[in-house]
């Protein structure tokens, strides 16, 4: 009887796949051990080293040092910044890595944080703050899936995403990389992103390795200072900032980036308790930990000490943006870590553990079998289907804050619509930071896509007149005015602000529109709530559009009623700067978290 049950159970589909996944796991484990046995100390340390594309002095260094990983930071790109150009560059680097003695393939990482955003021809999705407003794990998963496909089209198999920061203070310039102000919002969306990136199986040729970041407490620093100090007790740290990691690990995330910030004065890259005891021990994280960009350099004035402390704390791979000729470069890292291992200051067992973790992920990804770019995917980058999903994300991310006298939706048969503001017709501004460049920039940044103005023109009925001006100087005869205002692109370090008021010029544009005496619809392009003051009173309708990305058509879909607004604020909207400091605890906010009108 028992035997019979066992036989039946063994053939049930669920058990069959459980058995085969156990078998696969065992197989990988033995491949890792066999490979590890054959590696020299230099080769092991090579695997722990990640070098930026711009820092790599000589491609032959990939072979010579058996480097395990490369990245393209925010400003590193091949001269041909198209999917085709990236695929060629990636394959070239990979072929150099495969010339190393053991032919261990390179794991290449990039910040694909809202689409494969470095690429000229990729589709760009709304930044996470907008995805948070959708509250839709389905959309987040779909967006991540498409990002994975576009990445794979360039060969790259690893994205430094999702950012699962819980951002408590919008002074922080990275607030837009956060899905929202509470773990309730961040946890399900972070998990959905991991599912979308990694798919059912990491070995699937359409999956990429995800990287949950930045561990831990990046969004909780005092005054929202980037790379600052998160001051709170452990219970608070665990309640607010840890849950996203618990669920990402459950979802199978195989890499986690350790944050620049400190917790109560101690740099995260040096925090053995959180990295090793909590993450790898208590939470059972089996993947590997990557440092942030030169982050270990901040531990102390001495690089060798930084390496010793961070590797002993539990970092498995170090992200190095400098090449020979600079301080703290990758050759220095390789030689210093070797010396530390020789002196017993970094135990060999710790190095073996790090390398096992990295190799296991490489085997799981199928990198050894498929190290090169899949050209069938290269041609799909930026496809109409991909853009259609981004458009869905855009319209679901818009939050309607005000709609007096139901001025929205606008009629497509409007006689004369005046569109005001530089941001109405600027792809770079609507994409924000981490687009083509690290900080992003205004202008015609990407191939394809549509600005808000393009989209309005495409949507109105034949015969409707649409005029546009940057400053709102020519509004005569308009039946309604759409004013687009907000922030210019920025990213980490440069995006911190102590004053989030709308600029005087933006206020003036809205006010000028008000004096015409026709409905005024204001659209705010920003990475975070801003202090609106009179701008809200001067507007009949007010739409928070966040940083929507390339598909401006999603905004026109909502403006003209083809899609009703469903977005909900992912953060409390403060009335003034004092309330910014209070964050989710603001007593009398302009709008509470979760607010959003519809029609």
Active-site residue numbers? 292, 492
Stretch that binds ligand BGC, among 72-80, 362-370, 525-533, 548-556 (CB under 6 A): 72-80
Q: What is each CA distance from 464 to 422, 452, 459, in whole angstroms?
A: 21, 16, 10
CB burial of 93-102 (b: ≥16 within 10 Å; e: otherwise) equals: bbebbbebee
Task: Figure out which of the listed residues 213, 241, 395, 575 binds ligand BGC, where binding follows CB under 6 A.
Answer: 213
Please report whether residue 160 would count as binding ligand BGC according to CB under 6 A.
yes
CB of 319 or CB of 361, closer to ligand BGC: 319
CB of 111 or CB of 538, closer to ligand BGC: 111
Please report whether residue 495 would count as binding ligand BGC according to CB under 6 A.
no
Stretch that binds ligand BGC, among 29-37, 68-76, 281-289, 581-589 (CB under 6 A): 68-76
Stretch that binds ligand BGC, among 34-42, 71-79, 95-103, 368-376 (CB under 6 A): 71-79
Please report whether residue 173 would count as binding ligand BGC according to CB under 6 A.
no
Backbone angles phi, psi at 424, to 5 degrees: -70, -25
Q: Where are the alpha helices (DSSP H) in 460-570?
A: 504-516, 534-537, 553-559
Pattern 23-52, ligand BGC, x by CB under 6 A: ------------------------------
CB burial of 556-585 (b: ≥16 within 10 Å; e: otherwise) equals: bbbbbeebebbbbbbbbbbbbeebbbbbbe
Map tokens 């041609």 to a residue.
379
Backbone angles phi, psi at 593, to 5 degrees: -55, 135
Tokens of 530: 């801003």
Tell me how crowded residue 455 is: count the other CB atoms within 10 A of its CB: 23
CB of 397 or CB of 439, closer to ligand BGC: 439
Q: Which residue is nearest to ligand BGC (CB)?
A: 73
Task: Figure out which of the listed residues 74, 126, 552, 570 binds ligand BGC, where binding follows CB under 6 A.
Answer: 74
Task: Figure out which of the listed residues 65, 108, 125, 293 binds ligand BGC, where binding follows CB under 6 A.
Answer: 293
Q: Where are the alpha helices (DSSP H) in 221-328?
A: 234-236, 243-250, 272, 303-313
Instruction: Give least dist CB 318 to ligand BGC, A.
Output: 12
Please report whether residue 433 would count as binding ligand BGC according to CB under 6 A.
no
Instruction: Give least dist CB 407 to ligand BGC, A.
Output: 40
Could you tell me how many residues of this chain bind ligand BGC (CB under 6 A)? 10
Please report whether residue 172 would count as binding ligand BGC according to CB under 6 A.
no
Q: Where are the alpha helices (DSSP H) in 460-568?
A: 504-516, 534-537, 553-559
Task: Figure out which of the listed residues 68, 73, 220, 548 binds ligand BGC, where binding follows CB under 6 A.
Answer: 73
Q: Where are the alpha helices (DSSP H) in 258-366?
A: 272, 303-313, 330-342, 348-365
Please report whether residue 496 would count as binding ligand BGC according to CB under 6 A.
no
Instruction: Give least dist CB 564 to ligand BGC, A.
Output: 35
Tokens of 264: 């109560």
CB of 245 or CB of 438, closer to ligand BGC: 438
Q: What is each CA distance from 417 to 391, 398, 458, 506, in whole angstroms?
A: 23, 21, 13, 19
Instruction: Give least dist CB 162 to ligand BGC, A.
Output: 11
Burial class from Cβ neighbours inside 10 Å (0-12, 13-18, 19+) for residue 13 reads exposed
Instruction: Give least dist CB 366 to ligand BGC, A.
Output: 24
Who contacts 34 (Cβ-Cβ below 8 Å, separation ≥6)?
Answer: none
Task: Figure out which of the listed residues 49, 85, 97, 111 binds ligand BGC, where binding follows CB under 6 A.
Answer: 111
Cβ proximity of 378 and 84 under 8 Å: yes
**Where in 452-491 is the site for ligand BGC (CB under 6 A)?**
none
Please report whether residue 288 would count as binding ligand BGC according to CB under 6 A.
no
Instruction: Give least dist CB 144 to ligand BGC, A.
Output: 16
Instruction: Give least dist CB 296 to ligand BGC, A.
Output: 13
Instruction: Give least dist CB 443 to ligand BGC, A.
Output: 19
Instruction: Give least dist CB 109 to ligand BGC, A.
Output: 8
Q: Helix, strand or coil for residue 466?
A: strand
Instruction: Give least dist CB 174 to ligand BGC, A.
Output: 8
CB of 216 or CB of 510, closer to ligand BGC: 216
Cα distance between residue 98 and residue 314, in whole Å: 28
CB of 257 or CB of 309, closer to ligand BGC: 257
Please report whether residue 292 would count as binding ligand BGC according to CB under 6 A.
yes
Burial class from Cβ neighbours inside 10 Å (0-12, 13-18, 19+) for residue 485 reads buried
C-alpha count within 13 angstroms, C-beta hemisphere, residue 490: 20
Please choose, from the candidates 165, 85, 149, the residue with its C-alpha nearest in 3D space to the C-alpha of residue 112.
149
CB burial of 346-364 (b: ≥16 within 10 Å; e: otherwise) equals: beeebbebbbbbbbbbbbb
Please report whether residue 492 would count as binding ligand BGC according to CB under 6 A.
yes
CB of 292 or CB of 316, closer to ligand BGC: 292
Stretch that binds ligand BGC, among 67-75, 146-154, 335-343, 550-558 (CB under 6 A): 67-75
CB of 120 or CB of 438, closer to ligand BGC: 438
Under DSSP, the state recorded for 267 is E
CB of 293 or CB of 330, closer to ligand BGC: 293
Please report whether residue 297 would count as binding ligand BGC according to CB under 6 A.
no
Under DSSP, the state recorded for 403 is E
Stretch that binds ligand BGC, among 3-11, 69-77, 266-274, 352-360 (CB under 6 A): 69-77
Please report whether residue 438 would count as binding ligand BGC according to CB under 6 A.
yes
> Which contacts (CB < 8 Å, 24+ apart) does range 536-539 have?
536/401, 536/402, 536/590, 538/510, 538/511, 538/513, 538/514, 539/402, 539/483, 539/510, 539/514
Please choose, from the candidates 126, 100, 129, the residue with its C-alpha nearest in 3D space to the C-alpha of residue 114.
126
Cα distance between residue 49 and residue 41, in whole Å: 13
Instruction: Give least dist CB 294 to ligand BGC, A.
Output: 7
Binding positions for ligand BGC, rule: CB under 6 A: 73-75, 111, 160, 213, 292-293, 438, 492
């Amino acid at each position: 009887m028992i035997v019979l049950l066992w036989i039946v159970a063994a053939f049930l589909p669920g058990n069959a796949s459980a058995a085969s996944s156990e078998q696969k796991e065992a197989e990988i484990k033995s491949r890792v051990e066999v490979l590890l046995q054959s590696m020299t100390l230099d080769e092991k340390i090579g695997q722990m080293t990640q070098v930026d594309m711009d820092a790599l002095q000589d491609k032959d260094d990939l072979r010579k040092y058996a480097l395990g990983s490369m990245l393209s930071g925010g400003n590193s790109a091949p001269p041909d910044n198209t999917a085709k150009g990236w695929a060629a560059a990636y394959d070239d680097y990979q072929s150099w890595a495969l010339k190393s003695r053991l032919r261990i393939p390179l794991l290449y990482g990039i910040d694909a944080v809202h689409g494969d955003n470095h690429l000229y021809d990729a589709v760009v999705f709304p930044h996470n703050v907008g995805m948070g407003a959708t509250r839709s794990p389905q959309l987040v998963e779909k967006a991540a899936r498409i990002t994975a496909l576009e990445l794979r089209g360039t060969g790259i198999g690893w994205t430094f995403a999702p950012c699962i920061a819980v951002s408590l203070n919008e002074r922080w310039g990275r607030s837009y990389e956060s899905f929202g102000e509470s773990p309730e919002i961040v946890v399900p969306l972070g998990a959905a992103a991991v599912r979308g990136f990694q798919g059912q199986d990491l070995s699937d040729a359409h999956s990429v390795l995800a990287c949950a970041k930045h561990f831990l407490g990046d969004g909780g620093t005092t005054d929202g200072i980037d790379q600052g100090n998160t001051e709170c007790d452990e219970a608070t740290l665990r309640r607010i900032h840890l849950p996203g990691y618990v669920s990402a690990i459950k979802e199978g995330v195989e890499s986690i980036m350790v944050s620049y910030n400190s917790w109560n004065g101690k740099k995260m890259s040096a925090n053995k308790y959180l990295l090793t005891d909590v993450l790898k021990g208590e939470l059972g994280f089996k993947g590997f930990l990557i440092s942030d960009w030169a982050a270990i350099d901040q531990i102390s004035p001495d690089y060798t000490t930084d390496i010793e402390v961070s590797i002993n704390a539990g970092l498995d791979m170090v992200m190095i943006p400098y090449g020979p000729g600079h301080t703290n470069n990758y050759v220095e890292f390789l030689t210093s870590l070797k010396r530390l291992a020789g002196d017993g200051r970094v135990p060999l067992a710790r190095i073996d553990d790090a390398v096992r973790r990295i190799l296991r992920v490489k085997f799981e990804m199928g990198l050894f079998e498929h190290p090169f770019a899949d050209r069938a995917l290269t041609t799909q980058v930026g496809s109409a289907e991909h853009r259609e999903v981004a458009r869905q994300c855009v319209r679901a991310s818009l939050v309607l804050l005000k709609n007096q006298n139901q001025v929205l939706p606008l009629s497509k048969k409007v006689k004369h619509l005046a569109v005001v503001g530089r941001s109405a017709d600027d792809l770079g501004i609507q994409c924000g930071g981490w687009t083509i460049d690290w900080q992003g920039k205004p202008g015609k940044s990407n191939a394809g896509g549509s600005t808000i103005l393009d989209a309005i023109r495409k949507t109105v009925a034949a015969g409707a007149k649409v005029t546009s001006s940057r400053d709102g100087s020519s509004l005569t005869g308009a039946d309604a005015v759409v004013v687009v205002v907000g922030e210019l692109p920025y990213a980490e370090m440069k995006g911190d602000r102590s004053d989030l008021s709308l600029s005087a010029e933006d206020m003036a544009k809205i006010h000028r529109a008000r004096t015409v005496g026709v409905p005024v619809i204001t659209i705010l392009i920003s990475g975070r709530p801003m202090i609106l003051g009179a701008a809200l009173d001067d507007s009949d309708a007010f739409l928070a559009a966040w940083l929507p990305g390339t598909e401006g058509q999603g905004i026109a879909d909502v403006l003209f009623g083809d899609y009703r607004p469903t977005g909900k604020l992912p953060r409390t909207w403060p009335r003034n700067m004092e309330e910014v400091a209070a964050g989710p605890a603001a007593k009398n906010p302009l709008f509470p978290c979760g607010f959003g009108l519809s029609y």
